[in-house]
Structure 1
Amino acid sequence: MRLWVILAVAVLGWACTPNDSGVEGTLLFGERPLADAQVEIYLKSGQDRSVAPFAVAVTDERGRYRLDLPPGRYYLIGKKREEGEDGRDRMLMAECPINPVEVKGRERVPPFGLREMGRGAGLVPDPGTAVQGRVVGEAGPVEGAWVYVYMNEDAGLMGPSYAEAVRTDAAGSFRIPLPAGSYYLAARQRGDGSRLGEPAPGDLNGVYGKNPVAVPLGQEVELEDLRVAAVDLDNRVLRRSEGKFASTDTAFTGRVVDGQGRSQAGIYVFAYLDRRMVGKPTYISEPSDAQGRFILYLTEGGTYYIGARSRFGGPLEPGERVGTYAGRADRGADIERGTQVSLGDLRVREVW
């Protein structure tokens, strides 16, 4: 009882005192003020927090925020979801570089910039060092194609493992500042203009014909045209029929939903033989349909460990939806060859 009295007095005392302590500052993206972004206040460091923030503020049209806080040490995180150049949501985030912020009175925090998650570890170019060229299709220069720079060929020059990506201008031209080194280039233009996702039939896709490209220090390398061609439907169907999407008489079925039970379309479901669920999965489903339904074909019976993700290949990027099978503590499910087993609802959540 005494503890509750002390806490009540402390809270009441703070509520009744003038708001003369807290933090204020500005959030940026590049050099522009970032309006409608969140500033979250935590009492502990680390980005993987399982608790709600201690306090939250939203920036005004000039990127400014102000929060009244009792004296103490705080960790500030800036976040915002906004539409990117490809028309899809992107996640902006950054920790305040002077964390923890010691609040003794009214503390003015230096402005700090948010960065696009998944690309914050991009390459730092050397002065005067770059590649430039054009993306060309059968009809001529391609406007709005994404040009990707990869450090190696391990992922087949596909997926979100690229180091840099830029979009071509109206003349199909691009320029990418880089540190000196050796690189692999590819280009894609998807029908919806997006930067990520497997190319569909009719989308344009191509790999630079003279990979790898050597980029000397202080030089701008002029490339030959990077040629793209339409993805062929027959080749795509054949490749899928022979690969991890092949139909069999053994399969897991179910529905992908979010935390509120709403159907989630466009989610890949994976099966691993290793309970650690690392590396490449053994089997992959087609994306879930508009009702969230999926079918995951297998060639053999056994025990499989099930996960789900809105993209496949490369590291997780903020904004993706991911989840695992919750029917067992180890995320595993058993199946006999020649049967279909329903996994029920498989829940996914959005990742920051």
Structure 2
Amino acid sequence: MDKVDGVDKVDWVRFWFVLSAVFLCWACTPSDSGVDGTLLVGERPLAGAQLEIYLKSGKDRSVAPFAVATTDERGRYRLDLPPGRYYLIGKKREEGDDGRDRMLMAECPTNPVEVRGRVRVPPFSLREMGRGAGLVPEPGTAVQGRVVSDGGPVEGAWVYVYTNQASGLMGPSYAEAVRTDEVGRYRIPLPAGSYYLAARRRGDGSRLGEPAPGDLNGVHAGNPVVVIRGQEIDLEDIRVSVVEPETRAQRRNEGKFVATETAFTGRVVDGRGTPQAGIFVFAYLDRRMVGKPTYISEPSSEDGSFTLYLSSGGTYYIGARSRFGGPLEPGERVGTYGGRADHGADIERGAQVLLDDLQVREVW
């Protein structure tokens, strides 16, 4: 009798027949087993969000979800499942106040959920990824103030709260961010502690991205700000000034973006080969690709093209990411160079090397 990997073909046929029968029976069973619930953002029902079901906890979740449901206009979902133990994750991508996509996500607080019949899951709220950094405001504790430029209030500026100065008060590693109102005022609820404040208004109104010439940028003169439990503190004005082209150029000439004769060039794409704009490409000397990269490219252009300048030749390990600095957050696009198994590429000093397409994917 023919065998497949040492097993009789008849046995394989019986196995798949039984497995198919089990799934067919479950699919035909009345909907008396599964989960029902509601997804929220704050206290508002969240329509069009996804509820994903996994068989493993978050640390081990590296596969596609077992099942997915979408919430209705009242934030409700209903999903039929066979009896078992499941991990529920809520997710949604939507446009934020700055006109860019923001990623909402949360794990069900009662994970794992035991399904034995129809289970009503308590409502839980999704929060924006990359914001908050775990800061839980304390009652009656906050800072408030104004953002001004040349003596006038600045409407629509973003005020950022950092827990330390390691990032230079730049990049997405802030702990919280709020936008000023029409008279330049802001209020930020916080727990007691010591913080550093900065403010920026970009021409396109966005929350993230390096300030460009013409944007407004500044830091609070009284940093660090000490926040006392139970007190709302009125701060002195945060003064912002126009980013001058000469200042930005000088920073670039002294930093990791400086143009040289040695460079990798290429294109960033997604899994379908579609060009990806706004992606930073990084070069590391260490094959582990941890910590701060040695060289960083400008964000990729609309056609996905990039140029990664280097100061010398050698072997570099190449990665890509849609954000510059800070911990990796769900919703980001990341990838590593696939031209070699170790993600490395060789280059001689003074040469320009065209790399194969560098593929990125969105992570959650």
TM-score (norm 2): 0.93
- In structure 2, do the counterparts of structure 1 residues 152 and 17 end up closer, same or farther at CA, with 3 Å as the change threshold? closer
Query: Unpaired runs of 5+ in structure 2?
Result: 1-12
- Say whether residues 1:219 and 2:231 are aligned partners: yes
Which residue identity does 2:349 align to in structure 1?
Answer: R
CA contact (8 A) 2:159 2:178 kept: yes
2:115 counterpart of 1:96: no
Matching residue of 1:61: 73
User: Retained in 1: the 8 A contact 2:132–2:175?
Assistant: no
Report the secondary structure of 2:356's partner residue: strand
Higher mean C-alpha deviation, range 284-293 or range 60-69: 284-293
Report how far residue 139 of structure 1 moved. 6.0
2:244 aligned to 223, 229, 232, which one? 232
**AA in 2 matched with 1:38:** Q
- Kindly report the root-mean-square deviation, in angstroms, between the aligned alpha carbons of the 2 structures: 1.4
Report the 3-state secondary structure (helix = DSSP H, G, I; strand = E; otherwise coil) of the residue aligned with 2:277.
coil
Distance 2:292 2:69 in 1: 40
Give the Cα separation in 2 of the matches to 1:336 and 1:188. 40
Residue 161 of structure 1 aligns to a residue in which SS?
A: coil
Would you say how many aligned residue pairs link Structure 1 and Structure 2?
352
Is 1:105 paired with 2:117?
yes
Q: 1:197 aligns with which of 192, 209, 212?
A: 209
Q: 1:84-163 maps to which residues of 2 (within 5 A)?
A: 84-119=96-131, 121-138=133-150, 140-163=152-175
Q: Percent identity?
A: 80
Are positions 1:308 and 2:348 aligned together? no
Label 1:95 to 1:120 Cα distance change in 2 as closer, same or farther (>3 A).
farther
CA gap 1:110/1:149 in 2 versus in 1, 3 angstroms = same
Deviation per CA, 1:82-132: give whole Å up to 9, x if none: 111111111111111111211111111111111111225331122222111
Structure 1 stretches of 5 or more lacking a match? none
Match of 1:6 in 2: 18
2: CA distance between counterparts of 1:120 and 1:224?
23
Residue type matched to 2:211 in 1? P
Looking at structure 2, the residues matched to 93 and 80 of structure 1 have their Cα atoms a distance apart, in angstroms, of 7
Q: How far is 1:242 from its partner?
A: 2.5
* Matched residue, 2:8: none
Contact between 1:253 and 1:344, CA under 8 Å: does it hold in 2?
A: no
Match in the other structure for 1:290: 302
Aligned AA (1:31) = E
CA distance in 1, matches of 2:38, 2:109: 13
Residue 305 (structure 1) shift: 0.8
> Which of these residues, 185, 188, 201, is aligned with residue 200 of structure 2?
188
Equivalent residue in structure 2 for 1:334, among 329, 346, 357: 346
Return the offset for 1:263. Answer: 1.3
Residues 133, 176 of structure 2: 8 Å contact kept: no
TM-score, normalisation: structure 1: 0.96
3-state SS in 1 of match to 2:357: strand
Within the candidate set 25, 34, 56, 2:37 is matched to 25
Indicate the larger mover: 315-324 or 249-258.
Answer: 315-324
Secondary structure of residue in 2 paired with 1:344: coil
1:261 aligns with 2:273: yes
Distance 1:155 1:108, change over 3 A: same
Counterpart-to-counterpart distance in 2, 1:128 and 1:28? 25
Question: Where has structure 1 moved over 6 Å in runs of 4 or more?
Answer: none
Q: Secondary structure at the match of 2:355?
A: strand
Task: Give the corresponding residue for 1:173.
Answer: 185
Shift of 1:48: 5.5
SS in 2 for 1:185: strand
Deviation at 1:50, TM superposition (A): 3.0
Q: Which amino acid aligns with 1:143?
A: E
Task: Output the CA distance in 1 between the equivalents of 2:129 and 2:36.
Answer: 24
